[in-house]
């Protein structure tokens, strides 16, 4: 079964899915593997692996260790074309559609596509959108683009609809890792009203209640990174999973 179909099945069964982002730069390999194990037993549905930069050359080894430690789907969430690995199960094949930087719209994808094919990695075509979040996050800075203003849900909805019409499999509403403000519910709701493809939402989500709000607004998958990195406590991970799995609680 393809990873994307597994994700759709999770959405169907649990109401929404919970992804934890592991940035290989933010902890050592042993910690990443331990965190992956914690995530699996606490009810996380998939792990995203990636970062805006890669200061340490441990991308492949981190994924290998995570795969050994748990059986969750491991999906690359690439910060650049350097973040491709045959060790993963799939890759979010991102196009930064909120920006007008040709490199992140199509340039990087042309470089990455043949590599992804040659290692038989499943690409999940994703319209990636930055939503203004109160600070310039690393991902936004590195992209050299402007985010969609947080108080313009109609602009966000039009971008997401364009992604759907271009045949993308999902959209990712991104406030940026460590964002001051997460993506506002009215932006998620507008995107939901205009589109039928799955909506992933992440960046700056700090509490299970906030995560549930995103689901209630229409997000199908919620991502947390920083908060779990800071406090990799199984009870907190489980609280997020329970808040997001609206069909199971
Ligand atoms: C997922 O980049 C985020 O889109 C993760 O954000 O680190 O703020 O949870 P946080």
**Structural domain boundaries of the chain?**
3-244
Instruction: State the architecture of 3-244 in CATH terms.
Output: Alpha-Beta Barrel (3.20)
Report how far residue 232's alpha carbon sits from residue 140's, in angstroms, rounded to the nearest whole number. 26
Q: What is the CA radius of gyration of the chain?
A: 16
For each successive 10 residues of the chain (249 residues), what is the average pLDDT?
A: 98 98 93 97 98 83 97 97 96 98 97 98 98 94 96 98 98 97 98 98 98 98 96 96 90
CA 78 to centroid of ligand 1, rounded, Å? 13
Residue among 237, 246, 97 at smallest CA distance from 158: 97
pLDDT tens figures, 32-71? 999 999 999 999 999 999 988 777 789 999 999 999 999 9
- The best mutation among 52, 77, 223 to test binding of ligand 1, ranked by most ligand atoms within 8 Å of the C-beta, falls on 223
53 Cβ partners below 8 Å, 6+ apart? 25, 79, 138, 142
Q: In sequence order, what are the beta bridge partners of 223?
A: 19, 202
Q: Using a pLDDT cut of 70, give the percent of the chain over it.
A: 99
Ligand 1: does its nearest atom lie under 6 Å from the Cβ of 177? yes
Ligand 1: does its nearest atom lie under 6 Å from the Cβ of 70? no
């Amino acid at each position: 079964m393809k990873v994307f179909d597994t994700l759709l099945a999770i959405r169907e069964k649990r109401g929404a899915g919970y992804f934890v982002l592991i940035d290989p730069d933010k902890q050592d390999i042993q910690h990443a593997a331990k965190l992956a194990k914690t995530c699996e037993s606490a009810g996380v549905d998939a792990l995203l692996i990636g970062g805006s930069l890669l200061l340490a050359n441990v991308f492949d080894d981190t994924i290998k260790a995570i795969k050994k430690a748990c059986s969750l789907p491991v999906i690359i969430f690439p910060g650049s074309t350097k973040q491709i690995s045959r060790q993963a199960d799939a890759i979010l094949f991102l196009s930064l559609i909120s920006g007008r930087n040709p490199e992140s719209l199509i340039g990087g994808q042309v470089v990455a596509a043949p590599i992804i094919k040659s290692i038989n990695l499943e690409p999940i075509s994703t319209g990636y959108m930055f939503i203004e979040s109160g600070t310039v996050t690393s991902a936004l800075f590195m992209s050299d683009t402007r985010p969609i203003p947080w108080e313009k849900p109609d602009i966000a909805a039009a971008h997401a609809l364009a992604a759907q019409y271009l045949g993308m499999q999902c959209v990712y509403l991104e406030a940026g890792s460590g964002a001051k403000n997460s993506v506002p519910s009215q932006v998620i709701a507008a995107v939901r009203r205009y589109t039928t493809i799955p909506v992933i939402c992440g960046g700056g989500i700090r509490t299970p209640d906030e995560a549930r709000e995103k689901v209630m607004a229409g997000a199908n998958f919620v991502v947390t990174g920083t908060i779990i990195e800071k406090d990799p406590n199984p009870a907190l991970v489980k609280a997020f999973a329970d808040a997001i799995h609206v069909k199971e609680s």
